[in-house]
């Protein structure tokens, strides 16, 4: 079978969220945070970089650890900082500059934006310094979080910020809320009151040729819900966090996490530092709002990513949630279309992602590549080792779908079936049950299985319709089931 790529596009045991894709030297490099399976906080691992040739997005290579937490000067013996969502840019001098925020021990919330530098896009990187004013003071205006950077024909623009999804304008409660915000952000109440239009905004600043010293005063370019115009579509999609900046056809695209922090929206402008107008949502990691959908089709939570042109096509990179926590996020991507007026329509989550088309409807696939995972009750995102909700989970270095309960549906988009007559799977279950098989949401058969504490191979003859289709499992049973993989087998003549 021709080599394929599916979502997530990195190995199932790898957790690289907040992905920023950049094309350098005919390869696409992805810079992101580095989570761990079943973690209790974000970004616990060192930075790594993955890349692929622009003409073969199935061939991803890991460049290893490229920047360690201990390299940040705020790290102390036994108390290392955590390295949050980075971005990378080729500087004026041809070197590669990685902008990031350090959080955790020995740091204050929303402290300096730091920089590491390398001679090659894949690193290794070494600490370079912090973003500073010309007098040497670190830049702290607005809230330093999630840096995004662009080299715009020799001018370097840095974007950052944190907004939350709440409106803090209520005059009655604002004094109390500002005191709470002061404790969270490490900024004084006076500074919070004086920062316009709100300290909870996306800011931009121009950086000098040394890639460290700012040339302009930071200013807001995108409002959070605390300052967005009321009763507008943008108010419900205001800036939350995770800015990402690109320029295509003389139009600047500012991508960001919006609303309740589960969708990537975007705004455009003809200028890098002003005039951004909200244009819409690109993707939600639960498919909310896609074609009017009001129910999450997957665990909904934190999202961060960017868009990039790769070999003549445009893609959005984002992450999904696993292990029933926001702290174990995996890298996904989808093709997008930028229309002649700059508009991008929202796209759905899929299992085929960067594959260039549907997955081949034969052979063996991991169950964990399901793009939708729903049950009668909304699956909460809350870390707890005792969670019993259906989830994508890593167990003994294998990633499976586990604790599947009555009427849970696992959906895969899309497969191209040709002459498929048998379906098998590897399943464990606490009770007898079955998987109903759905194609385009219509039941076409089922596979029964007995209770078993070890993996059992199950199967059934089916007449899967030829062509490109959505494929789903729907569990029926009183117990809980796990599924590791499934196989489509062609009919024999």
Residue 440, Cα to own-chain centre: how many angstroms?
A: 27
Tokens (6 digits) for 110:
């929303």
Q: Is 146 a catalytic residue?
A: no
Exactly one of 14, 18, 223, 287 is catalytic; which is it? 18
Tokens (6 digits) for 169:
């304008």
Exactly one of 14, 241, 393, 403 is catalytic; which is it? 241
Q: Is 334 a catalytic residue?
A: no
Q: How crowded is residue 279: how many other Cβ atoms within 10 Å of its Cβ?
A: 18
How many helices (H) and strands (E) the chain has is answered by 2, 32
Residues contacting 136, CB < 8 A, separation 6+: none
Least Cα distance to 60 among 358, 414, 347, 355 occurs for 355
Tokens (6 digits) for 281:
């949502």
> Is residue 140 within 8 Å of 195, Cβ to Cβ?
no
Residue 462, Cα to own-chain centre: how many angstroms?
A: 36
Tokens (6 digits) for 321:
């949630």
**Alpha-carbon span 457 to 325, nearest angstrom:** 30
Tokens (6 digits) for 313:
């096509």
3-state SS, residue 195: coil
Catalytic residue list: 18, 241
């Amino acid at each position: 079978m021709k080599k394929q790529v599916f979502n997530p596009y990195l190995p199932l045991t790898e957790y690289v969220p907040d992905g920023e894709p950049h094309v350098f030297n005919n390869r696409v490099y992805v810079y992101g945070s580095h989570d761990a399976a079943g973690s209790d906080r974000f970004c616990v691992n060192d930075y790594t970089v993955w890349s692929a040739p622009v003409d073969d997005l199935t061939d991803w290579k890991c460049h290893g650890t490229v920047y360690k937490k201990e390299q940040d000067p705020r790290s102390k013996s036994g108390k290392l900082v955590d390295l949050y969502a980075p971005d990378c840019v080729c500087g004026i001098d041809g070197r590669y500059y990685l902008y990031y925020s350090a959080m955790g021990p020995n740091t204050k919330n929303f402290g300096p934006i730091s920089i590491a530098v390398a001679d090659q896009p894949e690193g290794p990187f070494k600490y370079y310094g912090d973003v500073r004013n010309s007098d040497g003071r670190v830049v702290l205006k607005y809230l330093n979080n999630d840096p995004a950077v662009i080299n715009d024909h020799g001018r370097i623009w840095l974007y950052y910020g944190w907004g939350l999804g709440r409106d803090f304008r209520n005059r009655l409660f604002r004094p109390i809320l500002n005191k709470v915000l002061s404790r969270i952000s490490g900024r004084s109440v006076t500074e919070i009151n004086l920062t316009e239009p709100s300290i909870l905004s996306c800011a931009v600043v121009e950086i000098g040729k040394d890639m460290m010293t700012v040339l302009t005063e930071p200013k807001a370019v995108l409002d959070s819900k605390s300052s967005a115009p009321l009763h507008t579509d943008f108010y419900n999609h205001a800036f939350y966090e995770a800015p990402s900046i690109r320029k295509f056809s003389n139009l600047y695209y500012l991508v960001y996490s919006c609303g309740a922090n589960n969708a990537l929206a975007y705004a455009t402008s003809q200028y890098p530092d002003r005039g951004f107008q909200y244009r819409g949502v690109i993707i939600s990691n639960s498919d909310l709002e896609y074609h009017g959908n009001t129910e999450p089709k997957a665990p909904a939570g934190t999202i961060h990513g960017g868009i990039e042109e790769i070999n003549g096509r445009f893609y959005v990179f984002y992450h999904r949630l696993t292990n029933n926590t926001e702290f174990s996020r995996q890298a996904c991507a989808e093709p997008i279309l930028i229309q002649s007026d700059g508009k991008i329509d929202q796209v759905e989550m899929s299992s085929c992602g960067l594959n260039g088309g549907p997955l081949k409807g034969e052979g063996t696939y991991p169950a964990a590549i399901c793009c939708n995972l729903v049950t009668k009750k909304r699956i909460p995102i809350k870390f707890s080792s005792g969670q019993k909700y259906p989830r994508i989970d890593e167990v003994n270095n294998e990633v499976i779908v586990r604790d599947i309960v009555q009427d849970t549906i696992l959906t895969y988009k899309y497969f191209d079936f040709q002459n498929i007559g048998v379906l098998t799977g590897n399943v464990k279950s606490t009770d007898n049950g079955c998987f109903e098989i759905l194609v385009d949401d219509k039941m076409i058969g089922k596979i029964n299985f007995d209770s078993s504490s070890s993996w059992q191979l199950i199967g059934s003859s089916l007449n899967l319709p030829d062509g490109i289709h959505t494929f789903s499992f729907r569990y029926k049973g009183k117990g809980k089931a796990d599924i590791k993989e499934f196989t489509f087998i062609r009919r024999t003549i």
